Structure 1
Amino acid sequence: MTDYALDPHSGLPAAGLATAAPLGRARRWARELAPPLLLYGAVCALQLALLAVLHRPGTLPIGRLLLSWDGRLFLEVAEHGYPAAGAPRDASGAWLGSNLAFFPLYPALVRLAHLLTGLSFGDAALLVSRLSGALAAVLLHRLVARLYDRRTGFFLLALVLAQPMAVVLGMAYSESVFLACAVGALLAAHRGAWRAAALCGVLAGLTRPSGLAVGLAVVLAAVLTIRQGWSWRPLLAALIACSATPGYLLWVGLRTGRLDGWFRIQQAGWGAELDWGAHSWDYITDQLAGGTGWVDVSVALLVVAALVGCLLALLGRPWPPMALYGLLVTGLAVGQSDFSSCKPRLLVPALLFLLPAARALAAARPRTAWPLAGAAVLAGSWYGAYLLTAWQAVV
């Protein structure tokens, strides 16, 4: 008969414990990953189903819709790289729009996925967006579970995916990559994993100009940590996290021959410049005073709701780095002049204004919370599908 050594604490055979430990970790990982991934997969399926239902014969196929507008320009960067050095100008010397406006991480990932899988650049772009969205879902659930509880994390994720233009997380756009990097940086900073926070901050800064909001949130987290006891690691991580966005803007400036080259390209190609909310104010007041199109009025209401949500969230005293990140992303979305229909898309990664509703749903009875969350997901998914298929929104 074999003589099994017993563990003194559990009374179980030591050999059995060696096998049980990996199984226990696997079960814990399954419990952590299953809820956000199942929710993310269900909403993705719902969005695609609604796109199919609302798609009109004779219009662009659904696959082409998901690669439309700025998505085509991201694909150009992924396939051909950036244009040659020099300021993009017309014959009269006026500045033109250029693919230099698009930050490099997302097209680089698309190119990498194309090389590794052999997929077309369009399919590779959708693959990168979907996988990044899944990663963002897991990280967001874990972050909010640390800050509040798992139930609040689940409902906040549901509300993020229920946003009217959350469909963009599955398009050839950089929002899903940015959201994953931003939430990863916040989660790492909250855990005190400063190398990971620095890396995620750099990646966010190479994805969108609002990556600077991620870097500044890491700075605030580092300051809060240093106040409890001096350490050089948080400070170094904060400096690194803030470096990528200014670095890319400087690179574009050197490539175009003007330090403000990126800003000139944005203004010339997309009419986007920081006007401290003047354009948004005019749009909101015009639409609420006498708007005739329900989509334009709804966009104005969504912007107002986001601003009100931010104020309510601040009353709940959220974790300061998350609050700063959310306020900056919301402020950048509302504070610049561009196509008004883009505002809901730019607000998708902001998170903060959805926090009061998520906490309210988490505190409500299940028979109230689940139907409300489900209705929000259905309504938001329909809205996004309608804007892409019927209204042909510029996102």
Structure 2
Amino acid sequence: MSVAAPDAVPVRDDVKRRLWDAAGGWHGAAVAVGILALSRLVQLVLLVGLDRRTAEPAGLRATLLVWDGGWFTRAAAGYPHGYTYATDGSLEGNELAFFPLFPMLIRGLSHVGMDPGTAALTVSWLASIGAAVALHLLGTSLWGRRSGWALVAICCTAPMSVVLSMAYSESLFLALLAGMFVAAHRQVWWAAGLLGLGCALTRPTGAAAAIALAVAALLAVRSDPARKWPPLLAAGVALSGVPAFLAWVGWRVGDPDAWFRIQTAGWGTSFDFGSSTLAFLGDTLTSSQGWVPMSVALILLAAAAAATVALWGRPWLPLTVYGVVAMVLVYGQAGYYHSKPRLLLPVLLTLLPAVIAAGRARPRVAVLAIAAWSAFGLWYGAYMLTVWPYTI
């Protein structure tokens, strides 16, 4: 399987070291934002409809601010100075588990008069627009314009893409991640470094993005040794992000392992090399566990199969490295099994076979296939947020 779409267009020499190609970028970006807007509109309609059918409707705003949204808005008000304990003395999770960039942006908008909830949703929705544009640029740079639009459509309607409308950090992370890859591919190293640092300060998976940027930097140094410092500095900046935040949490609490202990205490998150994921799959596929656990198990298996197909096609190495490391982090950690489809959303590697196939297919076939995918993905996310009673 080749990963080059038939309409793939290499970046021209005159725009190779620019993030934006004004000659063709505005139309492509407008279509990408239109795709995002349509997906969000359908998602919101589904959310309202399903919420009204529940025993105790929460309302759209409250629904979009649940779970991690509350943690992020509280983190925006300020991080605690130490551990948090329950009344029985057991360690609990607290806001220090959440990386700082998203809360910082919420806090910035709060200073201009927005309440924290509105600020959180505003950041998320604006970041979703940035993610749509950056995903289009990434797909267009690697496989061609049709594949760029397909990447936007498939990613923005995937199961659990509902978080792109919520006060969650996935939209911000996706925007920074795709932008980082575009910058690295076009060798705009100052932007790649800053965007990579932003990834690393948004989610723990930013470590995978930083490693991928380091791979892109090494490839650039090998091809042009005389211009080695810009890519190496970009990689160094990105690689510093996750360790810096973990060290800051350790310093603030007075325990070098503080972030990991808080994660485990609050959400059962720890790296167990995939044993809990394998146990979940085994239990779910061999016993009656209900349809939601079964759907999560099938999503995990389908994502692993799609990633294998993508790797067979040997995509761009930095994207490959990021995808593999990110999947190891998702599959290798213990935690809530029903959160894993959300954690898979920014991996991108699992979407490549569908994206490339859509770029090669006749437009009508591609549109119908993506529409079918979207119908399931958007409904699934709305159901998990309104009907499913547990955190996503």
TM-score calculated relative to the size of structure 2: 0.91
On the 8 A contact 2:158/2:345 being kept in 1, the answer is yes
CA deviation after TM superposition for structure 1 residue 191, in Å: 0.8
On the 8 A contact 2:83/2:94 being kept in 1, the answer is no
Structure 2 CA distance for aligned equivalents of residues 70 and 183 of structure 1: 23
On the 8 A contact 1:309/1:354 being kept in 2, the answer is yes
Aligned residues: 368
Q: What's 1:15 paired with?
A: none
Structure 2 CA distance for aligned equivalents of residues 251 and 46 of structure 1: 41
Q: What's 1:135 paired with?
A: 130
Pairing 1:146–2:141 present: yes
CA deviation after TM superposition for structure 1 residue 30, in Å: 2.8
Change (3 A) 1:169 1:94: same
Structure 2 CA distance for aligned equivalents of residues 127 and 96 of structure 1: 29
Pairing 1:172–2:170 present: no
Work out which of the residue numbers 72, 84, 88 in structure 2 matches 1:74: 72
Mark the structure with the bigger radius of gyration.
1
On the 8 A contact 1:87/1:257 being kept in 2, the answer is no
Pairing 1:344–2:336 present: no
Q: What's 2:102 paired with?
A: 106
Structure 1 CA distance for aligned equivalents of residues 373 and 249 of structure 2: 41
Q: What's 1:126 paired with?
A: 121
Once the two structures are superposed, residues 321-375 of structure 1 have per-residue CA deviations (whole angstroms, 9 ceiling, x without a partner) of 0111111222211111111100011111010111001111221122221111011
Pairing 1:313–2:304 present: no
CA deviation after TM superposition for structure 1 residue 114, in Å: 2.3
Pairing 1:258–2:236 present: no
Q: What's 2:286 paired with?
A: 289
Structure 2 CA distance for aligned equivalents of residues 388 and 140 of structure 1: 25
Pairing 1:326–2:323 present: yes
On the 8 A contact 2:32/2:136 being kept in 1, the answer is yes
Percent identity over paired residues: 44
Structure 2 CA distance for aligned equivalents of residues 325 and 137 of structure 1: 19
On the 8 A contact 1:188/1:194 being kept in 2, the answer is yes
Once the two structures are superposed, residues 64-120 of structure 1 have per-residue CA deviations (whole angstroms, 9 ceiling, x without a partner) of 011111111111111x20012x3334577643211100011001111112223x222
Pairing 1:214–2:209 present: yes
- SS of 1:173's equivalent in the other structure is coil
Q: What's 1:224 paired with?
A: 219
Q: What's 2:387 paired with?
A: 390
On the 8 A contact 2:28/2:145 being kept in 1, the answer is no
Structure 2 CA distance for aligned equivalents of residues 66 and 366 of structure 1: 34
Structure 1 CA distance for aligned equivalents of residues 390 and 381 of structure 2: 9
Structure 2 CA distance for aligned equivalents of residues 39 and 371 of structure 1: 14
- SS of 1:349's equivalent in the other structure is helix
Structure 1 CA distance for aligned equivalents of residues 115 and 200 of structure 2: 27
On the 8 A contact 1:67/1:122 being kept in 2, the answer is yes
Structure 2 CA distance for aligned equivalents of residues 219 and 27 of structure 1: 30
Structure 1 CA distance for aligned equivalents of residues 62 and 89 of structure 2: 34
Change (3 A) 1:370 1:103: same
Structure 1 CA distance for aligned equivalents of residues 101 and 319 of structure 2: 23
Which structure 2 residues correspond to residues 263-282 of structure 1 after superposition, within 5 A? 263-282=260-279
TM-score calculated relative to the size of structure 1: 0.90
Structure 1 CA distance for aligned equivalents of residues 26 and 260 of structure 2: 45
Work out which of the residue numbers 149, 157, 162 in structure 1 matches 2:157: 162
Which deviates further from its counterpart, 359-368 or 88-97? 88-97
Structure 2 CA distance for aligned equivalents of residues 114 and 26 of structure 1: 34
On the 8 A contact 2:306/2:353 being kept in 1, the answer is yes
Q: What's 1:3 paired with?
A: none
Structure 1 CA distance for aligned equivalents of residues 276 and 124 of structure 2: 30
Work out which of the residue numbers 45, 51, 74 in structure 2 matches 1:49: 45
Structure 1 CA distance for aligned equivalents of residues 345 and 390 of structure 2: 16
Structure 2 CA distance for aligned equivalents of residues 131 and 371 of structure 1: 28
On the 8 A contact 1:97/1:266 being kept in 2, the answer is yes
Structure 1 CA distance for aligned equivalents of residues 156 and 369 of structure 2: 14
Structure 1 CA distance for aligned equivalents of residues 345 and 244 of structure 2: 25
Structure 2 CA distance for aligned equivalents of residues 28 and 183 of structure 1: 18
- SS of 1:183's equivalent in the other structure is helix
Structure 2 CA distance for aligned equivalents of residues 308 and 355 of structure 1: 11
CA deviation after TM superposition for structure 1 residue 247, in Å: 0.3
Q: What's 1:33 paired with?
A: 29
Q: Report 1 or 2 for greater relative contact order, CA contacts < 8 Å, sequence distance ≥ 6.
A: 2
- SS of 1:348's equivalent in the other structure is helix
Structure 1 unaligned runs (5+)?
Answer: 1-24
Structure 2 unaligned runs (5+)?
Answer: 1-20
Structure 2 CA distance for aligned equivalents of residues 333 and 297 of structure 1: 18
Q: What's 2:9 paired with?
A: none
